[in-house]
Amino acid sequence: MFTIIIAIILPFLAAALISFFYKRLSRLHIGWFVLAVPVTMFIILARLLPAIARGDTFLKTINWIPSYDINLSLYLDGLSMIFGLLITGVGSLVILYSIYYLSARESLHHFYIYLLLFMGAMLGVVLSDNILVLYVFWELTSISSFLLIAFWFHRKGSRYGAQKSLLITVSGGVAMLAGFIMVYLMTDTYSIREIASSMSHYMNDPLFLPAMLLVLLGAFTKSAQFPFHIWLPDAMEAPTPVSAYLHSATMVKAGIYLVARLTPVFGGDQVWFWAVSGVGIFTLFWGSFTAVRQVDLKALLAYSTISQLGLIMSLFGIGSVALHFGYGPQSIIYTQATFAALFHLVNHSTFKGALFMVVGIIDHEVGTRDIRRLGGLMALMPITFTIAVIGSFSMAGLPPFNGFLSKELFFTAVLNVNQLDVFSLETWGLMFPIIAWTASVLTFVYCMIIVFQTFFGRYQPEKLEHKGHEAPWGMLISPIILAVFVIGIFFFPNILGSYLLKPAMASIFPGFSDPGELTPHIAAWHGFNPELLMTMGVVVVGGLLYKFLRYWKPVYWLFPTEWRLNALYDFTLGQAERRSSAITKFYMTGYLRDYALYIYIFFFLAVGGGLFLTGAFSFDMSGNAPIRVYEWILVLVMMTAGIAILFVKSRLTATLLNGVLGYSIAIFFVLFRAPDLALTQLVVETVTTALFLLCFHFLPEWKKEKFRPRSKLVNVFISITTGTIVTLIALSVQSNKLLFESISIYFQNAYELAGGKNIVNAILGDFRAFDTMLEVVVLFIAGIGVFTLIKLKSGREEQDIEGK
């Protein structure tokens, strides 16, 4: 359907238009025009929601590189619909919020261009059926998020956070690309749908396991799983609208999406289960444990995001065990973990987006996010306080908020793991409910920190930069809408289940004939079951830990700063910079002779050595035509000119001797009946000789460099060996018959293929058109550089004249 194409193209088109027309929109905030883009895309996707709920899917393919089976295949099903609505829906609210958050003095057109690029890239990720096209959009999200995180580039922290996020996520993306290529080598297709349908035949392939691990590496880095989570807290240097969008609803969910989408491909395998669920459950604990120690509200939310992403990731890992049992009745109970993951994915976007906006409001209105300086804001900011309570209590898993429902499903999933008798879970499965409950207790603690240490207690105006007051309504609308969803989903969760979660489950588990079996009825009350008892324990123990927080918080001092992963990252990066600088200084001597020496040594060892070891040097000159006298004369002239250049003391003489070489080659072209090449050679040689003479006229006096005897011997050796290898290659190529038809036969049809009577011109202008175009662009850039230098020099001269 073309509506899907419009949804992809619209943000990129809007970003391009903003760069041209933003100055004409100066009278009205540019954000109002940008807001129309995600709203339009949200409406486009929402109109397809009833069809998706019925089980329909939409596929549109645009040919890109069909000879390599690389096409822009856009596929919309239940899973991509969830992410598409989150990207556009939350994106709309974030842009509305940013209109009131960002100052008009900011470079708003850059901000919204980056945001639209990111939005389009994320939609490309979740809608692409071709894995290579998905990778292109995947890396575009990394680049655009780098630009957004570094938006306040004058801050050192912003530059550092942007660099860290780019290095980690792009490294994972490259690993993921390698995994995708391995998947293609196994299945001979780039289509995710075709890969999922045929992958069961390749589970014993030697590439299956490395492909899986490389793909997971990309997913873990993007979704901030341990130990790659360290980029997310530093990315909080970005403006709050960026944090609310990238780090709660979209970018960090890209890795989650990839795991969900590839569950039918790799799910059911023991390594996949332990990698996804194991890394996820540990990330859940570590994120919640680290969040409690934070004193910056944004950093606290960053680690809470890491924790919640680990929760979702672990649920997808647990749900994948259903594929181990096939599509039978026994596996349905384990698919509910995947259902809980999708449900919590939506819930997390609502309450975490609202909380990020709340923190942005606090920072915007009072000038700080430091918990130690906050307190008593409830009376001054009652609406903000209400939203904070709703978001925090939902994240803590308390009723009547949507986080309670998905958290109960999470407890059900981890309790079911302990009952499995596969993958050694009969012994190790007990760790899942223990870690899950412990992390939930810590989650409860940091949620209480957000509410009570920010809004209760003593108001400290002397520690604030601005007098506390409620935010303008424009900044409150977006978090209020998200807060309404937090409560509304709690009371009407099955509407979400029927229209979004049910078709998404059918996408992940396509083997079930009745998708309704995969969608359990969501209810707030299930009686006094183990899940409710775990929740009650979370509240009681979490409340006690919060009350006595100052007594046990010193436990964090047991973790020295130098042992943290951030310290390891900084040390590794610093060492890499120092070592690379040392290596660069070793070979970047500033002498052209040394650089030429490196090139010729590599040529001698790589080309000459390779051809010698493979026995490629072989030639037979018996069938060659005799060399005529005038040809010998031309060769002797060229040899004499070439050797004489080495000993002359004048630039003019060296230039003329170089011209002798060029014109002699042109004469050879005439003798060998190649007038077009001869003409080209004559023109080029004439122009270059004239340019050399012109340049040398303005250069200072030439002082010929003096070499030590050892250097002269090296020069002689390099020149002789290089010339010998080139000669041997030419003789070998000319004497040996190729095992395949020469490519020159194709170009003989230049007139029929390109309409050119001159083969050389046809090759340059048509067959090598793209390469020639790039060469012209390089010359154009060089020309601009020369023109700029000339203008700068003339400008300085005019200033000097005026000064005198």
pLDDT digits (tens, 9 = 90+) for 264-315: 999 888 999 999 999 999 999 999 999 999 999 999 999 999 999 999 999 9
Residues 6 or more apart in contact with residue 588 via CB below 8 angstroms: none
**Pair (272, 248) in one structural domain:** no
Q: Tokens standing for 627?
A: 């060399």
Q: Establish if 474 belongs to a structural domain.
A: yes
The answer, yes or no, to whether residue 417 has pLDDT greater than 70, is yes
Q: Establish if 680 belongs to a structural domain.
A: no
Q: Establish if 709 belongs to a structural domain.
A: no
**Domain end among 506, 521, 547:** 547
**Pair (169, 281) in one structural domain:** no
Cα-only R_g, the chain: 34
**Pair (455, 312) in one structural domain:** yes
Mean pLDDT of 36-54: 92
- Domain span at 419: 267-547
**Pair (274, 249) in one structural domain:** no
Q: Establish if 79 belongs to a structural domain.
A: yes
Q: Which of 363-372, 702-711, 730-739 has the highest mean pLDDT?
A: 363-372
Mean pLDDT of 426-436: 89
Residues of the chain with pLDDT > 90: what percent?
A: 50
Q: In angstroms, rounded to a whole number, what is the distance separating the alpha carbons of residues 101 and 624?
A: 81
**Pair (16, 151) in one structural domain:** yes
pLDDT for res 547: 93
Q: In angstroms, rounded to a whole number, what is the distance separating the alpha carbons of residues 153 and 151?
A: 5
Lowest mean pLDDT among 192-196, 738-742, 788-792: 738-742
**Domain end among 505, 532, 547:** 547
| 464 and 363 Cβ atoms separated by less than 8 Å | no
Query: Cα–Cα distances in Å, from 424 out to 338, 420, 431, 649?
Result: 21, 8, 12, 82
Q: In angstroms, rounded to a whole number, what is the distance separating the alpha carbons of residues 58 and 76?
A: 5
Q: Establish if 381 belongs to a structural domain.
A: yes
Q: Phi and psi at residue 483, in whole multiples of 5°? A: -65, -35
Mean pLDDT of 126-151: 94
**Pair (287, 375) in one structural domain:** yes
pTM: 0.83
Lowest mean pLDDT among 87-96, 480-489, 604-613: 604-613
**Pair (238, 379) in one structural domain:** no
| pLDDT digit string, tens, across residues 385-394 | 999 999 999 9
Q: How many domains does the chain have?
A: 3
pLDDT for res 267: 87
Q: Tokens standing for 746?
A: 């194709």
Helices 402-417 and 473-491 pack at an angle, to 10 degrees, of: 50
Q: In angstroms, rounded to a whole number, what is the distance separating the alpha carbons of residues 11 and 38?
A: 8
| 760 and 680 Cβ atoms separated by less than 8 Å | yes
The answer, yes or no, to whether residue 25 has pLDDT greater than 70, is no
Helices 402-417 and 530-547 pack at an angle, to 10 degrees, of: 110
Mean pLDDT of 60-88: 89
Q: Establish if 601 belongs to a structural domain.
A: no
pLDDT for res 171: 94
pLDDT for res 325: 78
Q: In angstroms, rounded to a whole number, what is the distance separating the alpha carbons of residues 158 and 510?
A: 43
Amino acid at 734: Q
Mean pLDDT of 534-540: 95
| pLDDT digit string, tens, across residues 653-706 | 888 898 999 999 999 888 888 887 888 889 999 998 888 888 877 777 766 666
pLDDT for res 398: 94
Range 13-46 burial, b when 16+ CB lie within 10 A, else e = ebbeebeeebeebeeebbbebbbebbbbbbebbe
Q: Establish if 594 belongs to a structural domain.
A: no
pLDDT for res 793: 63
Would the CA dihedral through 540, 542, 404, 413 be positive or negative? negative
DSSP 8-state assignment for residue 766? I
Query: Cα–Cα distances in Å, from 634 out to 131, 132, 677?
Result: 58, 55, 17
Q: pLDDT-derived band of residue 136, with 50, 70 and 90 as boundaries?
A: very high
Q: In angstroms, rounded to a whole number, what is the distance separating the alpha carbons of residues 752 and 663?
A: 33
| pLDDT digit string, tens, across residues 220-238 | 999 999 999 999 999 998 8
pLDDT for res 397: 93
DSSP 8-state assignment for residue 743? T
Residues 6 or more apart in contact with residue 541 via CB below 8 angstroms: 441
**Pair (170, 282) in one structural domain:** no
pLDDT for res 650: 81
Q: Establish if 571 belongs to a structural domain.
A: no
Q: In angstroms, rounded to a whole number, what is the distance separating the alpha carbons of residues 468 and 165?
A: 33
**Pair (167, 284) in one structural domain:** no
| 453 and 371 Cβ atoms separated by less than 8 Å | yes
